[in-house]
Amino acid sequence: MSCRARFPPRNVIPHSFLQDLLNRVDIVDVVGKYVQLKKGGANFMGLCPFHNEKSPSFTVSPTKQFYHCFGCGAHGTAIGFLMEHAGLTFPEAVGELAQSVGLTVPQEPSPMRGATAGAPGERPVFADRKSAAALSDVMQTACDYYRKALRGAPEAIRYLKKRGLTGEIAARFGLGYAPDGWQNLEGAFADYRSDTLVEAGLVIVSEKLDAEGQPRRYDRFRERIMFPIRNVKGQVIGFGGRVLESGEPKYLNSPETPLFSKGSELYGLFEARLAIREARSVLVVEGYMDVVALAQLGFPNAVATLGTACTPVHVQKLLRQTDTVIFSFDGDAAGRRAARRALDACL
Ligand code: ZN
């Protein structure tokens, strides 16, 4: 492969960056620019661009994020597709995809670090070993911890029962509880001082020093009902935390991380995806509690945006599941504003 790229050949694109990139990009969008795709069950189908055919044997899987042709055996990821079909070199394909999701390809020979990388306004890029996989692991561990903590928290269970939820629904959505206290996650992780916990948004580093002269650390989520936010693959990528009774803020979300981007994720989409297909429609509501309560009442096809307005990315994601999107917001001024934005996003 010749290197006619904008990138000097000495620079290596870190593997972890490629994983983060492929987590952010949706192959259906990438292939869809070149091939007319139609929904067929869980996958998308179209005429194979790599061999001549009259009936479609080319499939794109949104859950597995690869394309496969049953006719000629062509197969690969979004990066591979751009290389094979659009004739881009590897760095060009990576560069184009990164640009489409607002990421910057790390160009330094030494790995960049953390949320300080990149120009202001760019999304943080984590190019070192704390890859999406490592973050995904700690999110799952935290999720298990919160679920276990819920079982030992009668006040939280009482609250959920009061809201009409059964244990079955709580389990389906993986609901948990972050108990009162500043460093409860110390009991869930071998190394509470690990940077991965900070990058995952579970732990906050304070400017104040502790007794050992180290910056004090504490759990982001305290005394809250925890709603794990899953991606379409079912991995926990963030949390929403709701206070039990009073307290501010009422809802607290995970910060933006390489796994989690509020403008493109919808709460409940993973749990609702089969019901959406069955009902042939999706109900978009305002809060996590609404989603869970609706599932309890027999409307399992509901999702919620995550404290942001409904974006065109959200709408695209929903239209991939069904052709009918129903928005249901509160009748107050904020709800009407949200409805207006949602309509704009759809148009
Ligand atoms: Zn083919």
How far from 141 is each of 2, 124, 186, 332, CA to CA, in Å? 44, 23, 12, 38
How does pLDDT run across 286-332, given as a tens digit for each residue? 889 999 999 999 999 999 988 778 888 888 888 878 889 999 988 88
How does pLDDT run across 257-280, given as a tens digit for each residue? 888 888 888 999 989 988 988 899
Separation of CA 69 and ligand 1 centre (Å)? 5
Residue 107: its pLDDT value, please? 66
% residues pLDDT > 70 (the chain) = 90
Q: What phi and psi, each to the nearest 5 degrees, are found at residue 113?
A: -130, 135
What is d(CA 331, CA 302) in angstroms, rounded to the nearest whole number? 18
pTM to 2 decimals? 0.65
CA angle 341, 104, 125 (to 5 degrees): 85
Separation of CA 335 and ligand 1 centre (Å)? 47
Arithmetic mean of pLDDT over the chain: 85
Residues of the chain with pLDDT under 70: 1-11, 107-130
Separation of CA 7 and ligand 1 centre (Å)? 31
Separation of CA 20 and ligand 1 centre (Å)? 28
Separation of CA 75 and ligand 1 centre (Å)? 9
Q: Are 256 and 123 in contact (CB under 8 A)?
A: yes
